[in-house]
Chains A and B, each alone.
Chain A
Amino acid sequence: MSLDSPARGCRDTPVLKERGQREVFCGLTGIIWLHRKMQDAFFLVVGSRTCAHLLQAAAGVMIFAEPRFGTAILEEKDLAGLADANTELDREVARLLARRPDIKQLFLVGSCPSEVIKLDLARAAERLSALHAPHVRVYNYSGSGIETTFTQGEDACLAAMVPGLAQTQARELLVVGALPDVVEDQCLSLLAQLGVGPVRMLPARRSADLPAVGPNTVFALVQPFLGDTHAALVRRGATHLPAPFPFGEEGTTAWLWTVAQAFGVSRPHFDAVTAAPRARAAKAVAAHAATLSGKSVFFFPDSQLEIPLARFLARECGMLPIEVGTPFLHLGITGPDLDLLPEGPVISEGQDVERQLDRQHAAKPDLTVCGLGLANPLEAKGHTTKWAIELVFTPVHFYEQAGDLAALFSRPLRRKALLTPAGGKP
């Protein structure tokens, strides 16, 4: 295991903090993947037509795959008198639950409009929980843009579930963060081979499988954007295992080894279990590192995955990060990745999109990682881009996805080389 820290990592790099216009999603977008992960949950946004339109734009065609989410659109009369907003909500929820008896968890999701008019969804959730108990449990969290950025919606959702988890004294590992099912299965299989257990997941696929938590629980995060969930678990007495995130061969090994040490797994056994998948991952990444090595990369803020991904690209693919922008920086969570990220890039938190575009333009990076509102305009100016949202919607964690993760970054560069300029000869 070659987890030698670089001569100097980025933990002590002064962070460029910016405020201004931001080009990011709000936390409501988390619903798009959370509703697939939690199979008996329904997400009801209380908001405006803008919220409904956003979900539709982000969910694309999925909206017709019988989605378990919707928007209770506020109308003029709801804004006029708040007393009846609760009556309206009760009626809509009752209709919804009558139509979908398979729903066991209902999330009332706050939005900018509901937060601004101070609609008390927390109390509404308590009232509705009592009303629909024991069949349905009603939670509340806010995915509003004024409070949350993109993946923080998942954080707010999971943090809202923590206080309601059962109490336990058992020493168990809790793996926290929504993963694609195929990746979750790989993770559980590796932990089982290492002899680490019992292992519970948050979120669970069904409400019946929700984990318990207590003073002997240790938890590891598989997503870097879970600051509030981390705090809520610590409040319940659980212990966090800080580790680099399981991206790439090195990241996955470091993450697993941190967990293995907490459960007393011996080094020889660890090596025996991980040797084969490590070799596979290294081989798969090497195929793409040829394209990526020596190329510079610039990250616009999007999901908080930027720091661990920059670490993966720098150390395993030989890329040179110029700026790593993140919407929010939580040192307690991404510190281990910052330690491994070689000194050099600007680490920026927050955004003034016009100024950041000026910096990107001046830096002329080989690859720019950004959102869909910026990607085509930058491509038209001759920059090569990788749209960032795909990194959240695609299986990218752990050994077997390491090659796929590298491919997401090498593909735009390979494509650029393939397409001959108009009129050029192939």
Chain B
Amino acid sequence: MKLTLWTYEGPPHVGAMRVATGMTGLHYVLHAPQGDTYADLLFTMIERRNHRPPVTYTTFQARDLGADTANLFKDAARGAYERFRPQAMIVGASCTAELIQDDPGGLAEAIGLPCPVIPLDLPSYQRKENFGADETFHQIVRALAKPMPRSETITCNILGATALGFRHRDDVAEVTKLLRLMGIGVNVAAPMGASPADIARMGQAHFNVLLYPETGESAARYLERACGQPWTKVVPLGVGATRDFLHEVSGLTGLSPKVDESGLRLPWWSASVDSTYLTGKRVFLFGDATHVIAAARIAATEIGFEVVGMGCYNREFARPMRAAAKAYGLEALITDDYLEVEDAIAAAAPELILGTQQERHIGKRLGIPCAVISSPVHVQDFPARYSPQMGFEGANVIFDTWIHPLVMGLEEHLLTMFREDFEFHSDAGPSHHGAKADLRAVTDIASDDAPGADLAGGALPPGSASPRDTSGQKMPSEVQAPMAAAGGLLWQAAAERELKKIPFFVRGKAKRNTEAYASERGVAEISVETLYEAKAHYAR
């Protein structure tokens, strides 16, 4: 047993639902107890879908267990076919049905439905959501896709987009545009938007574009074997990766990599002088491996951050993750325990976190700005506006998204210059975030009260609650907590006052550096001089 409060991934049958819900003309009959229908609202609420997921649950109850749950399954499968008339069906079991050992595949075969029925074997007690999606898509492709003559014009399939995928809707649109410019048509984009009939004609594409290895790689490998279709290995996240991707496609097709970069703004936004202050900002990355590996490249080479930590929750991709981290001189964090992630972030003390919904909460707790780069995400990350992550427009979106939580350049400089300005002090928080500025009387400025003691009416720490976040928790940030020195060190009152004059977004780091410097030299009491000696020592 493993005690879990928060899980990055759902069970594998939720992955199967993501495939079924993304597709059309497919129905999923799931052998599951009453209550498992909770998963419907991930799609109807978080993704705001305007239809019910195409899933029929047997919803057996305790009284059915003594009787014949197998018949219940057969009735549900028959009823679902009669009502929905799907082109194909997938059948499987949730974690509880796995224990009662009815065989959905065999049972469905026995009733002889007039459409293809694809059985799924998803081990609930070993694997998770991404595996469920990848395996489901793989089995559908195995059952329906056949080798066939190539299309006359050069076409490809786009693989891996599912329901509840982070920005999948707009990524597919953006990549389709990039390919069209090179003269490549999209034969089938699947699973999202495809029907079983579309899957059956995937074989006529010349090659496959794999957008999301987590949910499409098994299908890509199968199609390579069965239909002789090569597949792209570069995921077009970021400017450099998008260009590499286009060169890779060019290599596969012999077409010249025609690009239209007229709408690409990230490089100039990043080169412009207002972005100078971003140089060397410490960033911690966590999420699914694909998004984290791509984000590290963007952070390091396109925005000029320093990557100080990276990791992923999906063990299936631990190897490429470790290799990618090594390139930045880092040890990758492979874990699905958010408490371990929280500890690693606290230890690395980054100035920006790029992660999932969980890291957003961790950031709020620690008072560190955060932007979201990967599933699992909440309703605000299924936006109404066009907001891909991939391609050139994706790069623009990423620049804006990552920079927004940070204090704006000019504001940061003024905060540094007028450190403890009475109405423009650090505890007022960034000007462009929703927090009530807490004006101080001029006389308070030299006081030793720990700012943030009155959190109810005071300002929020930077990077705290988004307006949608109603958990009502206003945690004091690390830097607002009363002075606690590590290892029995003592801060002199003057030094502590001096530390408070340092802008809040670097104060944590200054405090830690000073303490490390002092303990290395056996200094027991930190004075103003110690603070400035440490500053000089660590000067970058």
Contact = CB atoms under 8 A, between A and B. Distances in A.
Interface of A: 20-29, 44, 46, 48-50, 52-54, 56-58, 60-65, 67, 69-76, 78-79, 85, 88-89, 92, 95-96, 112-113, 115-117, 144-147, 149, 354, 371-377, 379-380
A95 B365 CA distance: 24
A372 B41 contact: yes
Interface in B1-26: 1-7, 9-11, 13-14
Contacts of A74: 1, 125
Contact of A373 (B6, B41, B126): B41
B34 interface: yes
Contact of A377 (B11, B44, B364): B44
Give 4 closest A-B pairs by Cβ, nearest first.
A26-B35, A145-B35, A373-B40, A380-B50
A23 B59 CA distance: 8
A48 B128 CA distance: 11
A116 B1 contact: no
Contact of A79 (B9, B37, B125): B125
Contacts of A48: 11, 95-96, 124-125
Nearest to A54: B38
B42 interface: yes
B466 to A, nearest CB: 10
B69 to A, nearest CB: 10
Contact of B34 (A22, A58, A64): A22
A26 B2 contact: no
B40 A21 contact: no
B385 interface: no
A24 B95 CA distance: 18
Given A49-B124, A53-B10, A354-B83, A375 B37 contact: no
A49 B10 contact: yes
A92 B33 CA distance: 26
B433 interface: no
A389 B99 CA distance: 30
Given A24-B35, A57-B38, A371-B41, A116 B126 contact: no
A78 B125 CA distance: 10
B340 to A, nearest CB: 15
Nearest to A352: B79
Given A21-B56, A72-B3, A145-B35, A61 B49 contact: no
23 contacts: A21-B59, A22-B37, A22-B59, A24-B34, A50-B11, A53-B10, A53-B39, A54-B35, A71-B5, A73-B2, A73-B4, A89-B1, A92-B3, A115-B62, A145-B35, A145-B36, A146-B34, A146-B61, A146-B65, A373-B44, A375-B44, A376-B44, A380-B51
A116 B94 CA distance: 13
B326 to A, nearest CB: 30
A354 B44 contact: no
Given A79-B99, A375-B44, A379-B50, 9 more contacts: A22-B57, A50-B36, A54-B38, A58-B38, A64-B365, A92-B2, A117-B99, A372-B40, A374-B44
Contacts of A27: 35
Contact of A72 (B2, B42, B57, B62): B2
Contact of A65 (B1, B62, B65, B472): B472
Contacts of A24: 34-35, 37
Given A49-B10, A147-B61, A371-B41, A25 B5 contact: no
B10, B37, B40, B64 — most chain A CB neighbours (10 Å): B37
A61 B469 contact: yes
B521 interface: no
Nearest to B61: A146
B470 interface: yes
B10 A146 contact: no
Given A21-B57, A372-B45, A95 B35 contact: no
A112 B35 contact: yes
B196 to A, nearest CB: 22
B1 A72 contact: yes
Contacts of A67: 5
Interface string B68-88: 000000001001000100000
Contacts of B56: 21
A26 B1 contact: no
B540 interface: no
Given A49-B95, A56-B6, A26 B124 contact: no
Contacts of B364: 64
Contacts of A73: 1-4
Nearest to A80: B125
A77 to B, nearest CB: 9
Contacts of A69: 5
B402 interface: no
B221 interface: no
A27 B61 CA distance: 12
